[in-house]
Structure 1
Amino acid sequence: MSTTETTNTLVHVVATLKTKESSEAALKQAFSKLVPASQAEPGCVQYLLHTNVAEAKTFVLYEVWASKANFDAHFELPHSVEFGAAAKELLAEPPAIRFLNRI
């Protein structure tokens, strides 16, 4: 398989999460458990957390998964379920999840 074929089979995801007022610290705490556990998952190629420089209440996850099946399985694991429950109380709106194609 060529490098181009390998790159094209990877699943690239950008998730944007906006917190409620004064919830940034609590969401960072929840992320402190989620990120390392997600990075250790089978099929996780990259899982990076960022904050928006212009909007401190906005967090952005850049994720790369070996397959869509790995991405889907991620949401069934205990650390993701726990994060989802906490995030419901902390987020101002549902996360915006976008799938990307690498060119």
Structure 2
Amino acid sequence: MTTPLTLIAIIRAKNGQGPALQALLQGLQAPSRAEAGCIQYDLHGDGSDTDLLYMIEQWRDEAALAEHEASEHFQAFVKASAPYLAELDIRLMNRID
């Protein structure tokens, strides 16, 4: 049995661009959640910094994540988010039982 892959994206918007980036990320949720390999795809905001966002994802396996990253909706997001994005820190992990 394959262990699900968890991804936490720490997303820093350019100064004052958090709401615009958040809107783009919210638009990414429904199509990403509809992907066969998606287990979780949840956006979180920092309570004290509107330019800091977190995406917590869980995928069936690495292949499912690769399919997501190649998807049309994700690639469109990458292009659309470029003007708003300051930093992106991706953390990949596997749950330890």
- The TM-score with structure 2 as length reference comes to 0.90
Question: What secondary structure does 1:42 align onto?
Answer: coil
* Higher normalized helix content (fraction of residues): 1
CA contact under 8 A between 1:44 and 1:66: conserved in structure 2? yes
Residue-pair matches, total: 96
Q: Percent of aligned positions with the same letter in both sequences?
A: 32
Letter in 2 for 1:80: F
- Residue equivalent to 1:36: 30
Q: Does 1:57 align with 2:51?
A: yes
- Write 1 or 2 for the structure with the bigger share of strand: 2
In structure 2, the gaps of 5 or more residues are none
Counterpart code for 1:75: E
Give the gaps of 5 or more residues in structure 1.
Answer: none
Separation of aligned partners in 1, 2:23 and 2:76: 12
User: Does residue 97 in structure 1 map to residue 90 in structure 2?
Assistant: yes
Deviation at 1:25, TM superposition (A): 2.0
d(CA) in 2 for partners of 1:55, 1:25: 11
Report the structure number with the largest CA radius of gyration. Answer: 1
Measured on the aligned residues, the alpha-carbon RMSD in Å equals 1.3
Matched residue of 2:16: which SS? coil
1:77 to 71, 76, 82: 71
Q: List structure 1 runs of 4+ shifted beyond 6 angstroms.
A: none
Conserved 8 A contact 1:48-1:62: yes
